[in-house]
């Protein structure tokens, strides 16, 4: 082999090793945020447990999203939802995602909605909500939250696949 061929082969090999090293470094930096336990989705049981563990003082003192501003005119500082003492929230699972709802004064209300992978939040208003598939716009999970014995419960509206 002549010197020119040997130099070209060494240059190519160096570039390939450098490219692989940069790729591995980039994947390890990106992958750390994707695979850590802090990013694991919560199950309905986990949500119920966390809601029960929340201290009563912080539940009644917090101000919810969409609520009126504080008397000083400043926006709410916490995204948590205010909850009068004795009003329990409950996680309800649908095939489109998890719904946290509560009953207050006999009225059902959706607190939050979290879609499952493959679904998105399409509608949330009062006690009605809808998850919609991200791959098929006609695959919908429509529901109404009702109060049964002071506990939130799900009632389906127009079963899955409905386009109403």
* Highest-confidence segment of 57-61, 78-82, 143-147, 153-157: 143-147
Q: What is the pLDDT of residues 18-52, one digit of tens each?
A: 999 998 888 777 765 555 555 567 788 888 888 88
Pair (62, 122) in one structural domain: yes
Domain presence at residue 32: yes
Contact 94, 131 (CB under 8 A): yes
Q: Exposed/middle/buried for 5, CB within 10 Å: 0-12, 13-18, 19+?
A: exposed
Give me the residues paired with residue 152 across strands. Answer: 147
Euclidean distance between CA atoms 19 and 21, whole angstroms:
5
Long-range pairs, 16-23, Cβ under 8 A, ≥24: none
Contact 92, 101 (CB under 8 A): yes
Pair (25, 98) in one structural domain: no
Pair (32, 82) in one structural domain: no
Pair (23, 50) in one structural domain: no
Q: Which domain holds residue 97?
A: 41-157
Q: Where are the beta strands (DSSP E) in the chain?
A: 89-94, 97-104, 107-115, 119-125, 128-133, 140-148, 151-157
């Amino acid at each position: 082999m002549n010197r020119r061929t040997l130099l070209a082969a060494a240059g190519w090999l160096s570039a390939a090793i450098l490219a692989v090293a940069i790729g591995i470094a980039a994947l390890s930096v990106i992958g750390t945020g994707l695979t850590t336990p802090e990013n694991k989705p919560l199950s309905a049981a986990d949500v119920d447990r966390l809601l029960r563990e929340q201290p009563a003082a912080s539940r009644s003192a917090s101000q919810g999203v969409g609520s009126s501003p504080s008397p000083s005119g400043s926006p709410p500082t916490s995204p948590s939802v205010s909850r009068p003492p004795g009003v329990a929230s409950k996680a309800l699972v649908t095939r489109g995602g998890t719904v946290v709802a509560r009953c207050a004064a006999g009225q059902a209300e959706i607190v939050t909605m979290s879609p499952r992978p493959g679904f998105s939040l399409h509608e949330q208003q009062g006690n009605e909500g809808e998850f919609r598939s991200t791959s098929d716009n006609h695959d919908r999970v429509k529901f109404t939250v009702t109060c049964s014995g002071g506990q939130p419960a799900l009632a389906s509206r127009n079963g899955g696949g409905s386009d109403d």
